[in-house]
Structure 1
Amino acid sequence: MLTFRFQKDTPGFLRKTRDQFGDCASFFLGGQLFIGAFAPEMVHEVTVSKQHSFIKGVGFERMRKVLGTGLLTNEEPIHMRHRRLMQSPFHISKISSYAQTMLGLTRKHIEPWRDGEVVAIGPQMMSLTFDIVADILFGSDISEDTERVQRAMHIAIDRIERTMLPGLDRFDYAPIPYFRKFEKAANELHDVSSRIVDQRIRLNIKRDDLLGILIDATTPDGERLSAREISDETLTLILSGHETTANVLTWTFSYLSENPQYWAALAAEAEEVLTNVSAEDFALRLFSAP
């Protein structure tokens, strides 16, 4: 019964558990003991200050079938090695150079919107953030595969979210259409990413996009990421820069739509602060803020 409730409404299940049992609660799902840590300071311990005391668990095992061994799914010490090699693309100066791409694609997406129109913001944000991360990461290399990659990523995300419980991974390769779609989607993502990375390296193609920076990244002692590691990291960046960001934007707009006083205050502040501010200057201010 608990497992069904968890699968049907995971956020609702977790909220009710927290409200009934407090900031730390345990429960069994699918025959496995789970411990919910709901207080912000507990989450900080698990994910930051004491992260070395925890493994990432069954959900991340499922993610590895889609993302490979990237930053999101890696355990230590491999995680730290990748993190050091991937620092340069996220330096403030590099992030500011992405601003014009973000601004241009945002304008393109919202230009058809009309005052008073009801917009399904979730799908819109998914589409926008995917276009941004794909352009910044791969540039024109992915243009022919954009729809294919976006469709495959959505199938993979849906599959992971619906089957995070222990034991369900045994059905991943069962002859059932839903599970076969997941296997096909994961293979498509790896095929596209590997092909683009291998072509860049084999032909020694130099481009100033995020993929080019990852290919050239080295540690002081000359260590580099392998082609497979780069391919896995690009898929991780697509997921983290696409689905997660889209969800944050969707919930933000949902909250603002229900609280018009905050919407008005935000619009007024944006008008005051961002007038005559370039995209690059805004990015520098934002990412250098404490």
Structure 2
Amino acid sequence: MSVPVAPGRLPLLGHSIPLLRERHAFTGALREHGDVVRLDLGTVRTYFVTNPRLVHELLVTKGSSFRKGALFDKFRPIFGNGLATSDGAFHRRQRRMVAPAFHKDRIAAYAGTIARAAADLAATWRPGQVRVVEEDAQAIAVTVVGEALFSTEFGGPAVEEVRRSLFTVLKQGMVRALSPSFVERVPLRANREFDAAVARMRAIVLDVVRGWREHGVDRGDLLSVLLMAQDAESGERMSDRQVHDEVMTLLVGGVETTALALAWTFHELGRDPGVERRVLDEVDAVLAGRPPVFADVAKLVYLNQVVNEVLRKYPVWFLMRRAVEPVELGGVPLPEGAEVVFSPHALHHDPASFPEPHRFDPDRWSPERAASVPKGAFVPFGAGARQCVGNLFARTEIVVTAATVLSRWRLVPVAGKPVRVKFTSAAYPSGLLMRAVPRT
């Protein structure tokens, strides 16, 4: 049970480097100090919300009282002012314009791209071959998002540049965002590589945008939707820079989440033969040997439960909001400008919401059990007006990719090769080696 915090009696915790080395244990332990804990991170005073009910208030019922927090201020110069980083009226305008790109009809068409990308990769495997699963997952995610954004015949160079540069941007971006500003000016190799990767991606995206404007034809890709979109209220279209910023947002958000979820899905299936058997039986029954289509996603009920459990177990570490007016959470008054932090990882591993939280249990997402999960306890894509606009695309990609691969192959752990975990914004597998075994 979480402990209520009375106004004026807010717990205060200091910040230390040793604590951050065990950051997941640290953020998870904060719930023992109350529903809202004042936490001084260096010179920044923050309010850490540990109670899922209050997280729901933060994101949904009182969401209009908050904007993106200090972390996103650091992201904005790197990734631009896209949906992930923008605020206020501009964010609402951009969301209206971007949303049609993720209509179900569009996603149904992209499902074919997803199944083909997964099948093409799986066709290169050989029986008994040891695969580096996180690299395969990243390759599929980049191909899918790249081809969905840029039609193959028009944006081939852009897709190749995404493959080359995106993971440098992803892995170094969080490091830079969490570092003091002076660090990015130090002439380190990592800084040079990061700056070069960002510059290359910016240049290639703007080049594709200019090329599209010369032809002005809907090519059925996400870029076409962004460039043709008109704001219903003003009639305005996006500028080249605005389109660039939204493309960067879709690349960063669309690749990392799905690549990690896919890698951890195969890892968890390999660790639990019982869960794997149920998934394989369901895939065989639903697909009957054919490639998956969008309509199959809803039919793969148990596979969806597995994906939910992966998203629960391996979420991002923390997210931030900033109060734009005086507001109260859980009886604690927050002043305008207050930085508020919550940890999806801590929420997803709270035993009050998820008994035995470290155990992988897809059955906790059966309809009868899922109904008891408190609001705010499961937030893999956020919630409220700022929920990730591409969450249906991401779920479709994860399920369709997994079903395509599992209809042909099993991935078996390699004995004596335990997977290592690297933490940046989320848990990255490192050295996730699995042996490809063909299905008979």
TM, length-normalised to structure 2: 0.59
Cα distance, 1:176–1:264 mapped onto 2, change above 3 Å: same
User: Structure 1 residue aligned with 2:173, among 154, 157, 160?
Assistant: 160
Q: If each structure's strand is expressed as a fraction of its own residues, which one has the higher value?
A: 2
| 2:254 aligned residue (241, 266, 276) | 241
Please give the alpha-carbon distance, in whole angstroms, between the structure 1 residues aligned to 2:59 and 2:24. 19
**Contact 2:150 2:158 survives alignment (8 Å):** no
- Post-superposition shift, 1:42? 3.5
| Kept in 2: contact 1:67–1:235 (CA 8 A) | yes
Number of residue equivalences: 286
2:143 is aligned to 131
Would the aligned equivalents of 2:117 and 2:140 in 1 still touch at CA under 8 Å?
yes
C-alpha deviations, 1:223-252, integer Å up to 9, x for none? 322221111111111111101111222233
Alpha-carbon distance in 2 for matches of 1:184, 1:7: 29
Residues 1-290 of structure 1: pairs in structure 2 closer than 5 A: 2-5=15-18, 8-18=21-31, 20-21=32-33, 24-140=36-152, 141-165=154-178, 168-221=180-233, 222-275=235-288, 278-282=292-296
Counterpart residue identity of residue 157, structure 1: L
Contact preservation (8 Å) 2:142, 2:162? no
State the secondary structure of the residue aligned to 1:191: helix
Q: Which runs of 5+ in 1 are unaligned?
A: none
Alpha carbons of structure 1 residues 34 and 115: separation in structure 2 relative to 1, 3 Å: farther
Query: 257-266 or 98-107, which moves further after superposition?
Result: 257-266
Q: Within 1, Cα distance between the matches of 2:37 and 2:274?
A: 36
Q: CA 1:13 to 1:161, structure 2 compared with 1: closer, same or farther past 3 Å?
A: farther
- Distance 1:263-1:99 versus aligned 2 partners, 3 A rule: same
Amino acid at match of 1:161: M
Summarize the Cα distance change of 1:148–1:68 in structure 2 as closer, same or farther, 3 Å threshold.
same
Contact persistence 2:67–2:88 (CA under 8 A) = no
Amino acid at match of 1:244: T
Q: Please, which moves more after superposition, 220-229 or 70-79?
A: 220-229
In the alignment, the residues of structure 2 paired with residue 14 and residue 116 of structure 1 have an alpha-carbon distance, to the nearest angstrom, of 41
C-alpha distance in structure 2 between counterparts of 1:36 and 1:248, whole Å: 26
- Quote how far apart the aligned CAs of 1:80 are: 0.8
Say if 1:150 and 1:50 are closer, same or farther in 2 by CA, change over 3 A.
farther
Q: Is residue 2–residue 29 contact of structure 1 (8 Å, CA) maintained in 2?
A: yes
Amino acid at match of 1:259: D
Quote how far apart the aligned CAs of 1:98 are.
0.6
Q: Cα RMSD over matched residues?
A: 2.8
Give 2:311's aligned residue: none
- The separation in 2 between residues aligned to 1:182 and 1:278, in whole angstroms, is 37
3-state DSSP class of the match of 1:172?
A: helix
Larger Rg: 2
The answer (yes or no) to whether the contact 2:93–2:231 under 8 Å persists in 1 is no
Tell me which residue corresponds to 2:362.
none
The one-letter code sitting in structure 2 at the alignment partner of 1:258 is R
Q: Which residue of 1 aligns with 2:337?
A: none
Cα deviations by residue, 1:201-222 (Å, 9 ceiling, x for unpaired): 1343441211111111123342
Please state whether the residue corresponding to 1:98 is helix, strand or coil. helix
**Aligned-partner SS, 2:231:** coil
Q: Which one has the bigger helix percentage?
A: 1
Query: What is the TM-score of this pair, normalised by structure 1?
Result: 0.86
| 1:7-38 per-position Cα deviation (integer Å, ceiling 9, x unaligned) | 645434433444x5465444333332333334
Once residues 24 and 201 of structure 2 are traced to their aligned partners in structure 1, the CA distance between those partners, rounded to angstroms, is: 28
